[in-house]
Chains A and B, each alone.
Chain A
């Protein structure tokens, strides 16, 4: 099974789990809390973690099979359980290339990737103030790349449009500390989540796969109405 097929299988399993939890968590109409389930419409997120490119030889040339990556993104919630958004990230590695004509590693190469993704996320959010919120998402992916090769002209470009998927778990910090956003006073941040996310995306450029797998830890800040948080208390 290819990495992408494995990832899709994991994604489907996670989606099924998420949907199952939703069904199991559904309550009779009479038991539904009087509080309305709402969430801030807009949110921004910033995360950092590892990016493992889908290149078998990456470690040979860059000394590690992973590179440190970060990303920033935003999302809009059509429903508390349905979000769409976009993000841009960065991964960078210093290493060597192949000495053409000799076929051995050599030369200095700085490889920088700026992945950009647009996504739709389904969140397992069932009640106001829910502590753990699992989610799955799918979307489109592309990447801007830059290869600086010592003594040669820099190479830059953009990869083809590909696909991406993600699974994660958000922890609602306002629930752990109701004043999490209190430090902002009457500021715009109403909800704060910390999240752990597994992500995979695939995008090619002239047959080379630039995507890979990411594990990211991040913070997500919700802006605007605070219905879920205030009613949960």
Chain B
């Protein structure tokens, strides 16, 4: 609410046009659209949003990064975005993912749909009625049933990529569109029966970088480079087709994947990262480059470390067009951590559960314990504040204490820069943490004691267990019994019929197991009879869904073959 009140649009007393930023100013996009006034822009920061947007006159919705501003339908039956009797409005820089209808334009004028990605729409990606004036420019249409359905051929379709759509552009009545005002588009792997590509088109693979990850940037050699008409905002050349071409394209490269970092000795870290395959970065003529950001003992941006290269390589380091770099001559220093307080040492059967307070700067803890002294044994754990310590002897008094430990830790991230004079830079990759150098220990905590032992529940009820199996196999600890028990717990007890079955079994089995105990000669027969059940339970508890499905399919196939053979035999006998 404070955020709302602080927003100029919410106050309603600011005359100038405003940028309403989602989610900084408004929690969702529609809320911002609703509160915007004519001339305002709704700026959407990277994130996945679930909504069905209704656009308003004079209000543009602009994604900050096309690939990372993702809109999915809250109600899949409705259009993701609707322009209904809207005038002068634009939808720019968003990825519209899935749904049954992408963008619907009804009775609207001056609508611009540009630099968006419409991916995997089950119906029509952009649906325009016969009364609207719309420009569809630099949009990537991928894997939709119908990319564009126009009620009027006066809606220009310029500089788009059509990839993997069942149909590209059709007339509103379902007929093949006449392709009037269709210019400079790029087509590949669409299933149109009778396509007409318009003017200045290109046929060929767009070579998207990684569409499954939402990255529809173009790789080097893409057929859709420099064919879109107009000028690119990114490199000032002829515009590329698709979402990353044209005057209003999002210029920043897609973020680099999370780097890997490994200590190399006590003062160096080897860092590697996956390449960004955008042709603006990989170009063999004028390549882009990468920057490596790092910080010591600080995981929050800005990553402003200063000690690499003996102090000569402050963050960020321009590492050139490489995907590996060694941060060398580092000075990993860390202050000794404070003293944790051991809060509790609760006894369990052959174990104790310890909990302690967290200490600022601690990257790990060492737990000391023993019957005589806390120095008898020690165990190192990570940055946790609870530990269940097993292997203890019931009935013995143990002492426990905790020591905080700290090790210098570098936070590392990488960005990609394109090859343009502007050197557009991607957002930071995900952070990688790399510990380095000697571990520094703080002072020991207070001591607590506990005597491990079993817990008796209240009420103290017996475990009736798997009576028959236990009796047949001789021990409740046998693997066969454990498998049946596991099957009971995982597959029967969670369901009502399963619980009823277990309850019925528990009612009947004690008497049967007593009879079995009285007649040991029966036990091998019972074990043999239980073997299929144990085998089936083993498959159920130890296989994943795919393996189960494969096994079920195999059994079904065997059964089908057997039935068929039996029928054939019966037919032969009938003859």
Contacts and interface: CB of A to CB of B under 8 A. Distances in A.
A107 B348 CA distance: 6
A193 interface: no
A208 B462 CA distance: 10
Contact of B464 (A114, A156, A210): A156
Given A101-B451, A158-B503, A158-B506, A111 B464 contact: no
A39 interface: no
B51 interface: no
A152 to B, nearest CB: 5
Contact of B457 (A101, A151, A155, A206): A155
Contacts, number: 107
Q: Tell which of B346, B350, B459 has the most Cβ of chain A within 10 Å.
A: B459
Interface residues of A, number: 40
Interface of B: 346-351, 353, 388, 394-395, 451, 453-465, 489, 493, 496, 499, 502-503, 506-507
B464 A206 contact: no
Closest 7 CB pairs of A and B: A107-B455, A157-B464, A155-B463, A208-B459, A151-B348, A97-B455, A101-B453
Q: Chain A interface secondary structure, helix, strand, loop or mixed?
A: strand
Given A102-B347, A107-B346, A144-B502, A152 B459 contact: no
A14 to B, nearest CB: 29
A157 B506 contact: yes
Given A144-B506, A152-B454, A210 B459 contact: yes
Interface of A: 55, 57-58, 61-62, 88, 95-102, 106-109, 111, 114, 116, 144-147, 149-158, 205-206, 208-210
A150 B348 contact: yes
A100 B463 contact: no
A102 B451 CA distance: 8
Contact of B493 (A98, A146, A210): A146
A106 B346 contact: yes
A210 to B, nearest CB: 7
A109 B453 contact: no
Given A144-B506, A146-B493, A158-B503, A98 B463 contact: no
A57 B465 CA distance: 26
B23 to A, nearest CB: 36
Contact of A97 (B388, B394, B458): B458
Given A107-B347, A146-B493, 10 more contacts: A58-B458, A98-B456, A101-B394, A101-B453, A107-B455, A109-B458, A151-B351, A151-B388, A152-B455, A158-B506
A155 B462 contact: yes
B348 A208 contact: no
B454 A111 contact: no
A99 B461 contact: no
A55 B346 contact: no
Given A99-B453, A106-B346, A114 B499 contact: yes
A55 B458 contact: yes
A96 B465 CA distance: 22
A106 B455 CA distance: 7
A206 B457 CA distance: 14
A189 to B, nearest CB: 22
B466 to A, nearest CB: 10
A208 B455 contact: no
Contacts of B457: 97-98, 109, 111, 147, 149, 155
A144 B499 contact: yes
B348 A57 contact: no
Contacts of B453: 99-102
Nearest to B504: A158
B124 to A, nearest CB: 36
Contacts of A158: 464, 503, 506-507
Contacts of A106: 346-347, 455
Given A101-B394, A158-B507, A147 B454 contact: no
Nearest to B503: A144
Contacts of A157: 461-464, 506
Contact of A208 (B346, B460, B465): B460
Contacts of A151: 348-351, 388, 455
A65 to B, nearest CB: 13
Given A107-B347, A114-B499, A100 B459 contact: no
Nearest to B453: A101
Point out which of B347, B353, B394, B456 has the most chain A C-beta atoms below 10 A from its C-beta: B456
A107 B465 CA distance: 22
A99 B348 CA distance: 8
Nearest to B507: A158
A151 B348 CA distance: 7
Nearest to B347: A99
Given A102-B453, A144-B502, A206 B461 contact: yes
A116 B395 contact: no
B455 A109 contact: yes
A146 to B, nearest CB: 7
23 contacts: A97-B455, A97-B458, A99-B456, A100-B456, A101-B394, A101-B453, A106-B346, A107-B347, A114-B503, A116-B503, A144-B499, A144-B502, A144-B506, A149-B457, A150-B455, A151-B349, A151-B350, A152-B348, A155-B462, A157-B506, A158-B503, A158-B506, A205-B461
A212 to B, nearest CB: 11
B455 A149 contact: yes
Nearest to A60: B458
Nearest to A110: B457
Contacts of B349: 151-152
A206 to B, nearest CB: 6
Contacts of A88: 496
A106 B452 CA distance: 11
Contacts of A146: 493
Contacts of A205: 459, 461-462
Contacts of A97: 455-458
A57 B499 contact: no
B338 to A, nearest CB: 29
B454 A100 contact: yes
Nearest to B454: A100
A106 B465 CA distance: 24
The listed residue with most A CB atoms (<10 A of its CB), out of B395, B455, B493, B506, is B455
Contacts of A149: 454-455, 457
Nearest to B348: A151
B289 to A, nearest CB: 54
A57 B463 CA distance: 21
B87 to A, nearest CB: 44
B505 to A, nearest CB: 9
B461 A147 contact: yes
A154 B456 contact: no
B400 to A, nearest CB: 15
